[in-house]
Structure 1
Amino acid sequence: MPHYDVLQVFQTGNMTLKKGKIVGLRDGDFLKIDTLLQTETTEVFLQGRRYRRTTKLADLKSARPNEVCWFEEMYLDESYVEDMIPLDHVVRVRQLKMTNKTFKELNISHMMKWPPTSKLYRDEGILFCRLKAEFTYESHAQKAKENSFSFVSKCFRSLCPAEVDDGFYQDPAVLRAAWQELPTTMDHPRRSTSTETLIGDKERLSPGVTTQTQSSPRHRYTFGDCFCGCGGMSCGAKLAGLEVKWGLDFNREAIRTYQLNFDGASCENASIEQFLNADIFNPADYRVDVLHSSPPCQSFSPAQVVKPKDFEDKQAAILAVNDLVKMVRPRVITMEETFGLLHQANREFFISVVSCLVDQNYSVRWKVMNFGEYGVPQDRRRVVLIASGPGEALPDFPQPTHTRNRTTIASTISIIPPGAPNHHPKEFLDPRRPYEANGSLQNLIACGGGLDNYHPDGKRPFTEREYACLQTFPLDYKFTGKRTDIIKQVGNAVPPLPAKTLYEEILRCLRKTDERI
């Protein structure tokens, strides 16, 4: 192993290199020098913090000139070795400002003193960093797989106060209030309703009851659920302590089920396009602290062979998230989708969502979670995204709760009492092969119940209530519709138990943030 001497300063040509200097590299990246090393043969190498133009990040689309991202890779097996940059890879010294101000408030056009051109911007203009990328891998071998599971988690987050340069800092409370157009989120009046809005229908399915507008208690955080289905995510949010304010879904039967379980919430039966464009929906009535948005995922499922008839509509729905966020302006956003969204054929849609959020100054974190590690008796892998708005801390993902003590089929369905709603066992005409009940389902619960999912004794199919319990819905959760309708609702739902764990972590982060104000 060669011996290195640490240099304090090194002069080369017209460049003076030392700790803290920013240099441009041949590969287009930039380096903030932390260490200068010289070998016995006088070769000089640099180590330090790497920055990358946002236009060059594969997980982010950006057209902002001279915007860079602090790029950091982490390996859980501690196999990371810091790059040694040869001196001849250095092109020129640059200026870089670390800021948490918005791009609209501070960018390269505000700082140039001569008539700007794209070349001058790129080659000599000040660089701005307001974003840090944190990509975590189990190992270099995992990263090399280059598939949906080739990382542990990825994150683009706004810089925290300690990372910002003097003179380029903005109080997070100011950023938060400006985005939400309110002094504080908790001062916003909350509308409490129990309605079902049916666009195009002359009558409501049930009478609307509206209570007097009043301010919510300061300790309650509100929740809205777009593409809510029968309410799996909302159920988890409610169990975690969030106040469910509204749900939106195009499926009429699903929204009926939703209304049965969330008293006081607005239940809107409409498409996302109708919700965003119809005059009957006042944006102020739908402001919430936490927004969940999980567009239909069948279009992106790796199991899909034939494209559904509404394939383009479902792809358009995921891109409508940008307009939805502008309407609702939540403090925190969550999204849950099939991991097929990360496959090469679908990644452009996911990248578009991430880019839209980052462009609106949200910090974004995502990973593939196995819901089986959070109490669901099946290996259900889903990509989950958390985003936090301007001035907000970015919540982390909760640690698994059932890594070793995995929930089993038997322990899940044995709690269902005889005569429970939606629990009327009927035997097969031809019994099937029995299997072990003290394990997990071999196949995912899907909108049709899942391939070859049946009771472990082989004598009968699962009842609707058993399917619901296997998706971790509480025993008292109500459903409406025929058997096929209920199974479809349950199969399309996010399991409430992992959702509860996720929102408990988000609530801890929100409360910690508010305690500082």
Structure 2
Amino acid sequence: MASDYFRSGDTRDRLRENSIARSCTLEADENDQIEDVRDGAEIIDLTSEILSTHTNSFSHAAAFQSQPHQFQVGDILEIRGTMLGQYPVHFIKVTGISYTSTQFQMLEGLPFIRTRNMKGQLPKKHNEVCMMLHSRQQTQPFLHDQPILANVKADLVVRRRAIITTNSVYPEFAARRILQSSAEHLSGQLSQSEEDATLVCRWKWIIQFVESNRKTRVYEESIERISLEEVSQSQFIVSEQTLRNRWRGGRHRGGSWRYNDHSDIRRDNRLPNQFVESFRHRGQKYTLFDAFSGARGVSRGAQSAGFKVTHAVDKEPTVWDTYSINFPETILYKMSIDQFIQEVRDLPLRPDVLHMSPPCQYFSPAHTRSCAHDEENTDAILCCHELVRKLRPRLITLEETFGLKFEQHQDYFHSLIGDLTHHGYSVRWRIVDLCTWGSAQTRKRLVILAAGPGERLPPFPPATHSKNLADSLLPYNTIRKALSRIRPDDDMHDLAAASHFTPPRPRLEFDTQIGTILTSPGNIYYPDGNRSYTLREHACLQGFPICHQFRGTRTSIKRQIGNAFPPNTVKVLYRHLEKWLLKQDGVTDHCPPSTQLITIDGESADVVIDSGSSAVLVRDSDVADARLSSLSSTIDHSCILIDLT
């Protein structure tokens, strides 16, 4: 049986098969190496090393070690010279005490790190700490992820510490402030506070990893605020309603958009025990603000999932006409993010969800040389901080190239995460294979979810498609299926305008996925090898519905399509988020009183509606216009057609 922890040092041959939590001894393994993984999956080294130390730096440690070690489970201990991967471990909460064969005392515990040492992912605040929770991803649903614990030798203990665990936002309950003006006094006070003041833990850093071929790959990470349930002392609990009201002023349970009702956001003053489930109003929706909107891939997918796209912003003139023709009711700000923030300084905008897709070309693996827009693109990602401060959404989604996770771009990535946590947002991120959410492409994207103060951080939606039909999932989408809805007379499907190859190029497989569609997809062509794809075929392969229109030159339209977050995968994500928000709000989606309800969406091409059906719900506005005429001749007057967004 494989070991349940990473082994080294004196405990190299010890197995903890029956432990409720796995553990690792924090010493170096010279055989472990970190690799540069070009598909964006990060390799981590969870073994750690004892750092070299200087005698004069640890006088407190020497004094502590000269006394008998009477540690207890639950103690918070400051430790020295310990690393977990690339990060230092500053404290542990003791969960177990054991002895080696030579009677050397070993302490097992949950590791903590000072927030200032997290490379900018959390605010650098004095005596603020974060739990470090590393766990293997479990394949069996009945197994629970247990965090890996640190095994530390007792002689590395510096001192005992006190800690407050709270779900409040900084600076509530923070360590006392230093008021002396003298630099010398300030330095001395900070040093004393560093050693003696109570620690405060508001965050947990969760890394889920998988192991294969003796390598440890990060599967998913999150930096989450401590939840109310995790706070054991009631005096350090702040209600979620209070946190939410302080941050954004409240919420509309069930969605901020109501048909013919544009009322302001309401402060939530209900007590926790006043939680009563209710129904949504007819036409009520959660709202989306789409930043860096481009050709409206996110807006199209979110609208298909039931969201109301109320506002968008993009400074690129070539996408404005495409936007306006598809979403005439949405307010489009034709300007940069910084200009938008100045323009609407006094306008109280509070969307339920904010999506951001900053330009990603600079961080893309395909970006191999400098260009004129590099500085512009990197500046865009740094604007997110002020945009979040202005809009204060309940949830945030962000999509980027997985190249942002490469080592050379880590400063930008850590800054982005830090911009969100600075405002109290819990953040989760993962590199997603979009084919598992229905894309016909072998495309990977970095997807980030964030939840504001007073909100619960949603998980990622489960896969909807798989290669081997595992767990009764749909088969992967294919080129053939993605193109099957195109008719000869569809707009942008001009075969004469496509490039024809003489001699033909090698034939490709129809019933498989296409490679990632880029902004200049010259190496992608129709599988018979005779021609390039038409613009409409490009759009369908990118997940756009037939009804989505494009405006601009052929080159501009190709760029709009290639830059888009595939709408069919966005729909999967946003349906999941809508269900999550409804659950958090204690609201049930509105449905007509019916014993038989047929739901039609973009994939319901073969649905048969008979005269016995009492209601038809068209949830996907992408197909509403296309299906309405055929439905009206198919169903009788006893049927109801509702929710045509």
TM-score (norm 1): 0.87
What secondary structure sits across from 2:358 in the alignment? coil
Which residue does the alignment assign to 2:105?
A: 44
Tell which deviates more after alignment, 484-493 or 430-439.
430-439
Tell which deviates more after alignment, 369-378 or 312-321.
369-378
User: Do the aligned partners of residues 286 and 81 (structure 1) sit closer, same or farther apart at CA in structure 2, a change above 3 Å counting?
Assistant: closer
Alpha-carbon distance in 1 for matches of 2:547, 2:429 = 32
Which residue does the alignment assign to 2:242?
A: 174
1:125 to 197, 204, 209: 197
Alpha-carbon distance in 2 for matches of 1:410, 1:2 = 54
One-letter amino acid matched to 2:541 = L
One-letter amino acid matched to 1:137 = F
One-letter amino acid matched to 1:437 = F
Contact 2:106-2:153 at 8 Å conserved across structures: yes
Q: Is 1:105 matched with 2:175? A: no
2:542 to 443, 449, 471: 471
Which residue does the alignment assign to 1:88?
A: 155
Identical-pair percentage: 32
Could you tell me which runs of 5 or more consecutive residues in structure 1 were left unpaired when the two chains were aligned. Answer: 145-149, 193-210
Q: Is 1:62 matched with 2:119? A: no
Deviations 1:408-450 (A, max 9, x none): 1111112201101111112515232222111111x321112x2
Alpha-carbon distance in 2 for matches of 1:282, 1:93 = 48
What secondary structure sits across from 1:63 in the alignment? coil
What secondary structure sits across from 1:123 in the alignment? helix
Contact 1:23-1:32 at 8 Å conserved across structures: yes
1:201-350 aligned within 5 A: 213-214=262-263, 219-278=284-343, 281-282=344-345, 284-350=347-413
2:450 to 367, 384, 387: 387
* Residue 397 (structure 1) shift: 0.8
Contact 1:224-1:288 at 8 Å conserved across structures: yes
Alpha-carbon distance in 1 for matches of 2:146, 2:391 = 42
2:510 to 418, 434, 437: 437
Q: Is 1:354 matched with 2:417? A: yes
* Residue 62 (structure 1) shift: 3.2
* Residue 452 (structure 1) shift: 1.2
CA RMSD of aligned residues (A): 2.9
Contact 2:77-2:92 at 8 Å conserved across structures: yes
What secondary structure sits across from 1:74 in the alignment? strand
One-letter amino acid matched to 1:22 = I
Which residue does the alignment assign to 1:197?
A: none
* Residue 332 (structure 1) shift: 0.5
Larger radius of gyration: 2
TM-score (norm 2): 0.70
Which residue does the alignment assign to 1:409?
A: 479
User: Do the aligned partners of residues 475 and 283 (structure 1) sit closer, same or farther apart at CA in structure 2, a change above 3 Å counting?
Assistant: farther
Deviations 1:179-238 (A, max 9, x none): 00x24345997699xxxxxxxxxxxxxxxxxx9844697642110000000111111111
Alpha-carbon distance in 1 for matches of 2:431, 2:230 = 28
* Residue 506 (structure 1) shift: 1.7
Which residue does the alignment assign to 1:204?
A: none
User: Do the aligned partners of residues 367 and 39 (structure 1) sit closer, same or farther apart at CA in structure 2, a change above 3 Å counting?
Assistant: same
One-letter amino acid matched to 1:408 = T
User: Do the aligned partners of residues 286 and 461 (structure 1) sit closer, same or farther apart at CA in structure 2, a change above 3 Å counting?
Assistant: farther
User: Do the aligned partners of residues 400 and 384 (structure 1) sit closer, same or farther apart at CA in structure 2, a change above 3 Å counting?
Assistant: same
Alpha-carbon distance in 1 for matches of 2:255, 2:294 = 27
What secondary structure sits across from 1:508 in the alignment? helix
Which residue does the alignment assign to 2:3?
A: none
Alpha-carbon distance in 2 for matches of 1:261, 1:482 = 17
What secondary structure sits across from 1:17 in the alignment? coil
One-letter amino acid matched to 1:250 = K
Alpha-carbon distance in 2 for matches of 1:406, 1:187 = 33
Alpha-carbon distance in 1 for matches of 2:219, 2:15 = 35
Query: How many residues are aligned here?
Result: 483
Contact 1:188-1:215 at 8 Å conserved across structures: no
Tell which deviates more after alignment, 475-484 or 170-179.
475-484
* Residue 353 (structure 1) shift: 0.9
Which residue does the alignment assign to 1:203?
A: none
One-letter amino acid matched to 1:109 = R
What secondary structure sits across from 1:24 in the alignment? strand
1:479-494 aligned within 5 A: 479-494=550-565
User: Do the aligned partners of residues 29 and 142 (structure 1) sit closer, same or farther apart at CA in structure 2, a change above 3 Å counting?
Assistant: farther
Which residue does the alignment assign to 2:78?
A: 24
Which residue does the alignment assign to 2:227?
A: 160
What secondary structure sits across from 1:499 in the alignment? helix
Which residue does the alignment assign to 2:576?
A: 505
Contact 1:453-1:461 at 8 Å conserved across structures: yes
One-letter amino acid matched to 1:337 = E
User: Do the aligned partners of residues 97 and 79 (structure 1) sit closer, same or farther apart at CA in structure 2, a change above 3 Å counting?
Assistant: closer
Deviations 1:17-46 (A, max 9, x none): 211110011135211111122345432211
Contact 2:253-2:585 at 8 Å conserved across structures: no
Contact 1:455-1:461 at 8 Å conserved across structures: yes
Deviations 1:395-418 (A, max 9, x none): 111112122221111111122011
* Residue 76 (structure 1) shift: 2.4
Deviations 1:89-146 (A, max 9, x none): 211100011011111323112699x9872211211111100000000111276765xx
4+ residue segments displaced more than 4 Å = 1-4, 77-81, 140-144, 185-192, 211-219
What secondary structure sits across from 1:139 in the alignment? strand
